[in-house]
């Protein structure tokens, strides 16, 4: 701790990636947060990773979640935000429970589904919204573009709802969100507008990235609330640190299983490990979009294009944005289109990471079996995480302390639960009126020029 941290682009070493000039220098956290994506289409990364001591981690036992949030946030932002202001931001962001449920003696579920939109995305979105409000240039509007495969959009929309000086534009794939996710996205209203895109999540993501790199839109003060923004990654480090502090002591090793789509959540665990958390293995189960397990198995990266539709829809990603950060951390470079310029250290990746693809059939079987054996109700994403952990333990014979992440509330996926278990899960308090909510989205073809013209028109009119 104590060293000033700046941020650089993952494309900084490329000779004019995608026809753009590489961003060679560094920026502050404030600049990285408000820009979202670097001008060369790279993703910002810290040039230094602060360390946490065993004493730091041990001090969290029995403490509230905000204690871990302050510990991690101060490590990155002590030179950027006064301690009192940062503590106030954190207290306001995290006003809900974070249950850790014991399943067996050494296996736990970390429930990240208790926030205002019943998704783990609430953790990052709420802190990020407050940091953006803190940093917003006086008198200037922030126009926030978000591509979502399900839960990101509603979490970001809810986090920014009513925030002065912020407008949010959410792009979601027409046929790849559940009906309840769609209602959440469309019913936020006010300063939040949803766009229904005739395409897949990767198409939504590419539209957003093109807008960030378009010089014609430079004056519109766009930023991202997707995990391409490091402001989304920083908060996702916290819950690994907090969970470890509650369960382990004295440097004990731990295994985390993180259901993975765009890889921002798993990246939080990777950064936590590099900060000193004793993570023995990061398990990264994916659905049938199996580009990453394929890469670890063969050493050759091939994106899945088009991405495959699966029950765990938030993970329907054929080329994860945060793969660029993973590659860079291990000495490689890949761009937003999936072109690899330099491969990372595969042996080191395999040492730290285990990835496996889980089919829809396995997902449903896991929901049924885990409910029957443990009385534990999982939704499709959490089931992918649990099954991935089972396969890792079976393959490696590991008896470490294990935590698997449940990333959304089962009530967001009633169809899968009803099909498998014959009942509909009870709605959490944050979703009690979800089936009565109304709202509209704007239909958008998968055409960048149409999207660009619409943005210029709506922002120019102050809509």
pLDDT at 402: 98
Q: Give pLDDT tens digits for 76-126.
A: 999 999 999 999 999 999 999 999 999 999 999 999 999 999 999 999 999
Query: Could you give the CA distance from residue 176 to residue 197 in angstroms, rounded to a whole number?
Result: 10
What's the chain's average pLDDT? 92
Task: Flag whether pLDDT at 185 surpasses 80.
Answer: yes
pLDDT band at 41 (very low <50, low <70, confident <90, very high): confident
Share of the chain above pLDDT 90, in %: 75
Residue 157, CA distances (Å) to 98, 162, 233, 256, 303 in order:
21, 9, 17, 28, 29
pLDDT at 148: 87
Query: Could you give the CA distance from residue 402 to residue 408 in angstroms, rounded to a whole number?
Result: 19
pLDDT at 460: 66
pLDDT at 226: 77
Task: Flag whether pLDDT at 51 surpasses 90.
Answer: yes
Query: Could you give the CA distance from residue 323 to residue 338 in angstroms, rounded to a whole number?
Result: 9
Q: Per the confidence metrics, is the pTM higher than 0.75?
A: yes
Question: Mean pLDDT over residues 370-376, rounded?
Answer: 97
Task: Name the helix (H) or strand (E) containing 264.
Answer: helix 264-274
Coil vs helix vs strand at 61:
coil
Question: Mean pLDDT over residues 341-349, rounded?
Answer: 97
Residue, of 141 and 373, whose pLDDT is higher: 373
Asked which of 45-49, 283-287, 459-463 is least confident by mean pLDDT, the reply is 459-463
pLDDT at 21: 56
pLDDT at 463: 46
Asked which of 233-242, 281-290, 433-442, 454-463 is least confident by mean pLDDT, the reply is 454-463
Question: Mean pLDDT over residues 317-324, rounded?
Answer: 95
Task: Flag whether pLDDT at 462 surpasses 60.
Answer: no
pLDDT band at 336 (very low <50, low <70, confident <90, very high): confident
pLDDT at 16: 60
pLDDT at 365: 97
Q: Residue 27 gets which letter from DSSP?
A: B
Task: Flag whether pLDDT at 341 surpasses 90.
Answer: yes
| DSSP bridge partners of 169 | 145, 193
Catalytic residue positions? 121
pLDDT band at 1 (very low <50, low <70, confident <90, very high): very low
Q: Give pLDDT tens digits for 54-80.
A: 999 999 999 999 999 999 999 999 999
pLDDT at 2: 65
Q: Give pLDDT tens digits for 262-301.
A: 999 999 999 999 999 999 999 999 999 999 999 999 999 9
pLDDT at 349: 98
């Amino acid at each position: 701790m104590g060293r000033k941290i700046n941020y650089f682009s993952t494309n900084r070493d490329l000779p004019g990636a995608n026809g753009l000039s590489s961003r060679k220098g560094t920026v502050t956290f404030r600049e990285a947060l408000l820009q979202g994506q670097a001008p060369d289409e790279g993703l910002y990364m810290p040039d230094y990773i602060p360390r946490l001591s065993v004493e730091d981690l041990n001090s969290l036992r029995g403490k509230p979640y905000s204690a871990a949030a302050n510990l991690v946030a101060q490590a990155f932002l002590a030179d950027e935000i006064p301690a009192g202001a940062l503590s106030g931001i954190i207290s306001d962001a995290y006003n809900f429970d974070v249950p850790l449920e014991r399943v067996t003696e050494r296996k736990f579920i970390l429930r990240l589904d208790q926030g205002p939109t019943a998704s783990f995305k609430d953790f990052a979105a709420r802190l990020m919204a407050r940091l953006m409000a803190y940093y917003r240039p006086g008198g200037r509007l922030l126009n926030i573009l978000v591509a979502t495969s399900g839960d990101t959009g509603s979490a970001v929309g809810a986090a920014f709802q009513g925030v002065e000086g912020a407008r949010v534009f959410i792009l979601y794939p027409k046929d790849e969100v559940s009906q309840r996710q769609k209602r959440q996205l469309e019913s936020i209203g006010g300063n939040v507008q949803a766009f229904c895109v005739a395409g897949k999540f990767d198409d939504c993501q590419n539209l957003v990235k093109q807008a960030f790199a378009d010089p014609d839109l430079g004056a519109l003060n766009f930023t991202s609330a997707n995990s391409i923004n490091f402001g989304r990654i920083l908060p996702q480090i916290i819950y690994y640190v907090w969970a470890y502090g509650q369960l382990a002591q004295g440097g004990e090793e731990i295994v985390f299983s993180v259901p993975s789509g765009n890889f921002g959540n798993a990246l939080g665990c990777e950064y936590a490990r590099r900060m000193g958390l004793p993570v023995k293995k990061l398990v990264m189960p994916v659905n049938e979009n199996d580009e990453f397990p394929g890469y670890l198995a063969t050493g050759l990266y091939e994106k899945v294009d088009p991405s495959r539709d699966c029950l765990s829809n938030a993970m329907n990603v054929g080329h994860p944005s945060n793969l660029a950060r993973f590659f860079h951390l291990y000495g490689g470079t890949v761009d937003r289109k999936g072109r690899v310029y330099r491969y990372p250290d595969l042996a080191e990746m395999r040492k730290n990471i285990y990835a496996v693809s889980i089919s829809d059939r396995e997902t449903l079987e896991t929901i049924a079996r885990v409910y029957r054996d443990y009385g534990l109700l999982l939704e499709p994403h959490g089931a992918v995480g649990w099954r991935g952990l089972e396969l890792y333990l079976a393959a490696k014979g590991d008896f470490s302390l294990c935590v698997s992440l449940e990333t959304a509330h089962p009530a967001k996926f009633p169809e899968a639960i009803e099909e498998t278990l014959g009942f509909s899960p009870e709605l959490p308090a944050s979703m009690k009126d979800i089936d009565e909510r109304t709202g509209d989205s704007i239909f958008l073809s998968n055409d960048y020029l149409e999207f660009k013209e619409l943005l210029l028109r709506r922002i120019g009119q102050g809509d």
